[in-house]
């Protein structure tokens, strides 16, 4: 098949057996009846597989406006549209015999007359699909969804997406507002929280910290809600987070830092550690430094062990 629709993996110096297996896998992944999860390295033909899938769906008679292809970047969306339209455009004007060959290659078997008749019209039908052939980024899709259902989503019709600059400005304003009330002396939890935070982060660091927290706010909210009763006191809910973290890290509820240090130290017996240090002391400059470190750690571990005992 002299088609421009080829996987970019085809040009690499990959052994034929691997190529053959890839081709089989790609064909399986493009099977329109199957739900498929494809994970592959960059440049190994994911877009190729997706394109083939779209083409086969269209060929099988799916209305173009019933397809939704989501990508993560605009560049990927544009590339995929381009490939789909490129191939469809070729079908639209190919002589029937060439078309039959191309379709058979795509489907893995000779195709019937219905497909042969449908294929040339798919280009224009995809182009004129109501709302366009939907190959778009997930962001664009979500934005459109919100525009379609503003009342349901609780957003203003004709809303606009904030650019990053405005986002930063608004975030800073919000932080300043919260700081304003947090700075009021008293026993409000917010004030206590600020006192804790300020020892670790202030000014720019604080903004960076909050930015990091906000990026994971869903996780944190989940943690707060799953580990503590929603109406529980602030501290109880924070305790919940502590419990969650311990469970996640596999650390007992009563474990302390000192205890954990001792536990870690027991991985090697003190004698083994000394022996290792001695061996390293004979070695290169780096080895000597590492040996010294082992000695230091063992000493600390000894101290810890004594505390535990």
Partner 1 sequence: MSDFSPNVCSVRAGDNFLQTLADALREGLLPGRDGARAALEPIPLAEWTVLLPTRRACRAFQDVLLRGSGSSAVLLPRIRPLSDVDDQSELLSGAVSESAMLGAYLGADLDAGPGEMRVPPPPAVPDLERRLVLMQFVMTWLESVDETGDVDRDPSMSAITRISPAQAAALANDLARLMDEIEIEGADLSRLAESMPPEFAQHWQRTLDFLDVATQAFPAYLSQTGRTTRAARATRLLRDEAGRISGGHVRRRILIAGIASLSAQTRPLIEAVARFENGVLVLPGLDRDLDDAAWDTLGASHPEHPQSGLCDVLRAVGITRTDVRELQTPRAEIARYDGQAARVRLLSEAMRPAATTGAWQGFAARSDRAEIDAALSGISLLDAPTAQDEADAVAIALREALETPGRSAALVTPDRTLARRVSARLAAWNIQIDDSAGRPLLKTVPGTFLDLILACFDDHFSPRTVAALLKHPLTRLGLSAGAVRRAAGALELLAFRQVYLGSGLDAIRASLMRASVSPVGDSTIVHRAVSRLSAEDREAASALLSQLEVATAPMREIEQVGAPVPLRALVRAHLEVAEALSRREDTGEAADGSAAQDLWRGEAGEAAADVLAELLEEESADLPIVAADYAAIFRALIGGQVVRPRRPMHPRLAILGPLEARLQTADLIVLAGLNDGKWPRLANPDPWINRPMRADVGLPAPEQRIGMAAHDFVQLAAAPRVILTRAERIDGTPTVPSRWLMRIEAVLRGVDRADALRADPAAGEAWLAWSEIAGRVGDHRPISAPRPRPPVALRPRRMSVTRVESWLANPYSVYARSILKLSPLDPLEAPPDASIRGRIIHEAVHRFTVQYPGALPDAAADKLVAIADEILIAYVAHPRVAAFWRPRLRRFAEWFAQTEGARRDGVAKMLTEVDGARTLSAPGGDFTLTARADRIDASDKGLVIYDYKSGTAPSVAQVTSGVSPQLPLEAAIAEVGGFDGLDAVPVQRLVYISAGGGTPAGEERWITKASPAELAARSLASLSALVAQYDDPATDYRAVRRGQFAGAYRYDDYAHLARVAEWSVAEGGDE
| 67 touches partner 1 by CB under 8 A | no
Q: How far apart are CA 176 and CA 269, in angstroms?
A: 53
Judged by CB, which is closer to partner 1: 168, or 195?
195
Stretch that binds partner 1, among 94-102, 106-114, 216-224, 244-252 (CB under 8 A): 94-102
Q: Is-contact 72 135, C-beta < 8 A?
A: no
Structure-derived torsion over alpha carbons of residues 232, 236, 237, 238, reported in degrees to the nearest 10: 160
Shortest distance (Å) from residue 73 CB to partner 1: 9
Q: What are phi and psi of 71, to 5 degrees?
A: -125, 175
Residue placing its CB nearer to partner 1 in the complex, 195 or 275: 195
150 or 252: CB nearest partner 1: 150
Choose, by CB under 8 A, the member of 177, 225, 226, 299 that binds partner 1: 177
Contact segment (CB under 8 A) with partner 1 among 9-17, 172-180, 258-266, 272-280 equals 172-180
Task: Confirm or reject binding of residue 13 to partner 1 (CB under 8 A).
Answer: no
Minimum CB–partner distance for residue 188 and partner 1 (Å): 13
Q: Is 156 in the site for partner 1 (CB under 8 A)?
A: yes
CB 303 within 8 A of CB 270: no
The whole-angstrom separation of Cα 29 and Cα 101 is 21
* Dihedral (CA of 13, 17, 19, 22) sign: negative
**Residue 11 vs 163, nearer CB to partner 1:** 163
Tokens 């064909």, located at residue: 27
Task: Examine residue 78 and tell whether it contacts partner 1 (CB under 8 A).
Answer: yes
Q: Is 180 in the site for partner 1 (CB under 8 A)?
A: yes
The SS3 call for residue 68 is strand
Q: How far apart are CA 116 and CA 101, in angstroms?
A: 10
Choice between 206 and 287, CB closer to partner 1: 206
CB of 99 to partner 1, least distance (A): 8
Using CA atoms, how far apart are residues 66 and 130, in angstroms rounded to an integer? 10
Among 94, 101, 209, 305, binds partner 1 (CB under 8 A): 94
Q: Which of 50, 55, 111, 123 binds partner 1 (CB under 8 A)?
A: 123
Is residue 218 a contact point for partner 1 (CB under 8 A)? no
Residues 6+ apart with CB under 8 A from 94: 102, 120
- The distance of closest approach from Cβ of residue 23 to partner 1 in the complex, given in angstroms and rounded to an integer, is 27
- Nearer to partner 1 by Cβ, of 12 and 147: the residue is 147
- Choose among 5, 139, 164, 144: nearest CA to 74: 139
Which position among 200, 217, 218, 284 is part of the footprint of partner 1 (CB under 8 A)?
Answer: 200
Q: How far apart are CA 88 and CA 120, in angstroms?
A: 7
163 binds partner 1 (CB under 8 A): no
- How many Cβ atoms sit within 10 Å of the Cβ of residue 189? 12
Given the structure tokens 């060929």, which residue do they identify?
59
Partners of 135 in the β-ladder? 69
Cα Rg, the chain, nearest whole Å: 31
Q: Which two tokens stand for residue 248?
A: 């996640």
Given 148, 168, 216, 275, the residue binding partner 1 (CB under 8 A): 148
In the list 152, 163, 218, 282, the residue contacting partner 1 (rule: CB under 8 A) is 152
> Interface residues with partner 1 (CB under 8 A)?
74-75, 78-79, 81-82, 85, 89-90, 92-96, 117, 120-121, 123-125, 127-128, 130-132, 144, 147-158, 176-177, 179-180, 182-183, 194-195, 198-203, 206
């Amino acid at each position: 098949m002299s088609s421009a629709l080829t996987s970019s993996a085809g040009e690499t110096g990959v052994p034929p057996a691997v190529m053959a297996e890839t081709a089989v896998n790609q064909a399986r992944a493009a099977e329109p009846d199957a739900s498929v999860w494809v994970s592959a390295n960059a440049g190994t033909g994911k877009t190729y597989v997706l394109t083939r899938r779209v083409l086969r769906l269209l060929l099988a008679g799916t209305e173009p406006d019933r397809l939704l292809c989501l990508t993560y970047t605009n560049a990927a969306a544009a590339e995929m549209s381009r490939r789909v339209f490129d191939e469809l455009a070729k079908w639209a004007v190919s002589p029937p015999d060439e078309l039959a060959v191309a379709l058979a290659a795509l489907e893995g078997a000779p195709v019937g007359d219905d497909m042969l008749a449908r294929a040339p019209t798919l280009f224009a039908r995809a182009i004129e699909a109501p709302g366009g052939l939907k190959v778009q980024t997930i962001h664009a899709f979500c934005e459109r969804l919100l525009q379609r259902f503003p009342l349901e989503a609780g957003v203003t019709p004709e809303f606009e997406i904030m650019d990053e600059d405005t986002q930063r400005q608004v975030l800073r304003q919000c932080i300043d507002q919260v700081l304003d009330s947090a700075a009021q002396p008293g026993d409000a939890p917010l004030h206590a929280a600020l006192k804790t935070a300020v020892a670790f982060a202030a000014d720019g660091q604080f903004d960076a910290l909050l930015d990091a927290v906000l990026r994971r706010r869903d996780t944190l909210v989940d943690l707060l809600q799953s580990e503590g009763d929603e109406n529980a006191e602030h501290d109880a809910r924070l305790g919940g987070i502590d419990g969650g973290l311990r469970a996640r890290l596999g650390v007992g509820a009563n474990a302390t830092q000192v205890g954990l240090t001792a536990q870690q130290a027991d991985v090697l017996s003190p004698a083994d550690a000394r022996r290792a240090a001695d061996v390293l002391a004979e070695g290169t400059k780096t080895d000597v430094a590492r040996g010294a470190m082992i000695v230091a750690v063992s000493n600390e571990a000894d101290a810890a062990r004594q505390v535990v005992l």
